Amino acid sequence: MLESGLIIRALMRNKMGALLIALQIALTMTIMVNAIFMIQDRQGQMARDSGLNEQDTFYLTNTIFAQDYNPQVGLKTDLNAIRKTPGVVDAIQINAIPLSGGGWSSGLQTEAGEDKDGVNTAIYMVDDHAINTLELELLAGENFAPSDIDWRLPSQSAWPAKVMITRALATSLFPDNWQSALGKTVYISNNQPMQVIGIIKNLQAPWNGWSGVERSALVPFQMETRSGRYFIRTEPGRRDELMPLIENMLAKSDKGRIIRRLTTMEETREQSYRQHNATNKILMAVVSTLTLITAFGIVGLAIFSINRRTKQIGTRRALGATRWQVMRYFMVENFFISAVGIIIGCIGTVSLNYWLVNKFNMTPLGFELILLGVITLVIVGQLAVLYPASKAALISPATATRTV
């Protein structure tokens, strides 16, 4: 452009204002790109499939306090009654709930022995109804048979002979080929063998922040416990209607226990990702106010510099410059300032990301986001300068002849 040299020389004579805008743009870009990256990262985590039916399921805690209670009989009676309730698809007793934050984990290893490395996995203790209740997808092998289910007494250390594992766990245990896990023997508690009889597509562990969140194992156990959880799936759309019914039915059937903490899987997901959601909203608010503030800063300084140059603009108009040329002058000027800011901003963005990666174990950001930041800021800059520039274009040539 012919005027470039002129604009740059004029800018150099009044560096400070331009430099301030450039720095603002640089910092805005640094924060914006990194914040959007963090938002995307969190959204990616929230979008992961838990593997189970979350819409039509809920769970409750059954706490026994009566001293003369038979937990084994009680559990059988309860599950029978729940499973027979019209509208209920299936129900199980389970020791932990996916995404809930609390559960059991254990190491599994492919060779027995105290000095062998293991892979940590979440442990779900369930019976043969688990696949149907949770609506899991069995990729290979078969479900537990009713005869596989053992009783687990409090503080028991022996494990059952069979196990079903998720594909992610199979991949960790047998990195060469996850399908080869089927039929293999794995060891729990260093040396207790369990045979892998089924591989499940997906089932998340209770801890959403854990790097091994996709690793879960189903163990055929019914727990003899004084505080157990029942997990229930209803026909689509009937969950809310059935929750109070089942609570009442269980509470009335036996006075020696308390039914509490009725929770839907959807509530559990909401609770689980509450911090993620909140952090994302805050970051979003920061990014948008930041962009607005920077835009207002550009408007303010542009208006100021136009006011100072009213006479010069008038002179240029009197000498034959068109309105569009006047406007273009300020838009090109803003573009140069933005460009400097964006170049510094790119360095800042990468540096901040580098710091975040080191300090908070985040992943490095991709090139596309930086490009997106560059484009956004150029557009914001041009939009912000549009109003002052159009005001400048309205300055009449007659201004040149006035003294004040």
Residues that bind another protein in the complex, under the rule CB under 8 A: 16-17, 20-21, 23-24, 27-28, 30-31, 34-35, 38, 63, 65, 67, 114-115, 117-118, 153-158, 189-190, 192, 226-227, 258, 260, 271, 274-275, 277-279, 281-283, 286, 289-290, 293-294, 296-297, 300-301, 303-305, 307-308, 356, 360, 404
Closer Cβ to another protein, 21 or 197, answer by number: 21
Q: Taking the alpha carbons of 105, 109, 115, 120 in that order, is the dihedral positive or negative?
A: negative
Nearer to another protein, 119 or 199 (CB): 119
CB 87 to another protein: min, Å: 27
Q: What is the nearest approach in angstroms of another protein to the Cβ of residue 12?
A: 17
CB under 8 Å, gap of 24 or more: what pairs does 375-380 form? 376/32, 376/291, 377/25, 377/28, 377/29, 377/32, 377/338, 377/341, 377/342, 377/345, 378/335, 378/338, 378/342, 380/291, 380/294, 380/295
Q: Where are the alpha helices (DSSP H) in 48-141?
A: 71-84, 130-134
Nearest distance in Å: CB 279, another protein: 5
Nearer to another protein, 304 or 354 (CB): 304
Any idea what the Cα angle at residue 220 is, between residues 231 and 227, rounded to 5°? 45
Indicate the residue among 35 and 200 with the shorter CB distance to another protein. 35
242 contacts 88 by C-beta, under 8 angstroms: yes
Task: Answer yes or no: are the C-beta atoms of 313 and 395 closer than 8 Å.
Answer: yes
Beta bridge partners of 257: 64
Shortest separation between residue 33's beta carbon and another protein, angstroms: 12
- Residue number, 6 or 357, with CB nearest to another protein: 357
Of 157, 127, 156, whose CA–CA distance to 225 is shortest?
156
Q: What backbone torsions phi and psi does residue 262 show, to the nearest 5 degrees?
A: -65, 120
Nearer to another protein, 100 or 133 (CB): 100
Beta carbon nearer to another protein, 76 or 281: 281
* Distance of closest approach, residue 133 Cβ to another protein, in angstroms: 25
Identify which of residues 131 and 295 has a Cβ nearer to another protein in the complex: 295
**Would you give the distance in Å from CA 5 to the centre of its chain?**
48
Long-range (24+ apart) CB contacts under 8 A made by 398-403 are 398/314, 398/318, 399/310, 399/311, 399/313, 399/314, 399/317, 400/311, 400/314, 400/315, 400/317, 400/318, 401/314, 401/318, 402/311, 402/314
Q: How far apart are CA 382 and CA 380, in angstroms?
A: 6
Specify the residue for token string 């934050």: 101
Least separation, in Å, of the C-beta of 150 and another protein? Answer: 13
Q: Which is nearer to another protein, 120 or 195 (CB)?
A: 120
Min dist. Cβ of residue 316 to another protein (A): 18
* Look-up of token digits 């560096």: 15
Closest among 303, 300, 386, 295 to 341, alpha carbons compared: 295
Smallest separation (angstroms) from another protein to the CB of 350: 15
Nearer to another protein, 43 or 275 (CB): 275
Q: Which two tokens stand for residue 266?
A: 């959807």
Torsion from C-alpha of 38, 41, 46, 50, nearest 10 degrees: -150
> Min. distance of Cβ 348 from another protein in angstroms?
9
CB 125 → another protein: shortest distance, Å? 16
